[in-house]
Amino acid sequence: MWRGITDLVKAAASMLHSGSVPPNTPSKYKEDLSKVNFLASKKFYVVFWSVIILAIFYIASIGVLFLTASAPSLTIPFVSIFTETIKILAVIIASYLGVQTVLDYRIQSNSNVELQGSSSFSQEIIDEELIAKFAEQYKSDPSYAPLEWIEKGDPNK
Question: pLDDT digit string (tens) for 30-65?
Answer: 777 777 767 677 777 778 888 888 889 889 988 888
With respect to residue 18, please indicate whether it lies within any of the assigned structural domains.
yes
The answer to whether 20 touches 34, Cβ cutoff 8 Å, is: yes
| Residue 89 belongs to some domain of the structure | no
d(CA 154, CA 87): 69
Report yes or no on 120 lying in a domain. no
CA-CA distance, 107 to 89, in Å (whole number)?
Answer: 27
* Domain presence at residue 31: yes
Does 33 map to a domain? yes
Count of the separate structural domains present in the chain: 1
Q: What is the pLDDT of residue 114?
A: 58
**Cα distances (Å, whole numbers) of residue 17 to 20, 29, 39, 57:** 6, 16, 8, 28
Specify if 7 maps to a domain.
yes
Structural domain includes residue 21: yes
pTM confidence score: 0.48
Question: For 67-115, how does the pLDDT look when each residue is reduced to its tens digit (9 = 90+)?
Answer: 888 888 888 888 898 889 888 888 888 888 888 778 777 777 665 555 5
Q: Which domain range does residue 13 map to? A: 1-37
What radius of gyration, in Å, describes the C-alpha atoms of the chain? 32
What does the buried/exposed string (b/e) look like for 72-94 if buried means 16 or more CB atoms within 10 Å of the residue's CB? eeebeeeeeebeeeeeeeeeebe
Q: Is 75 a member of any domain?
A: no
Euclidean distance between CA atoms 41 and 142, whole angstroms: 61
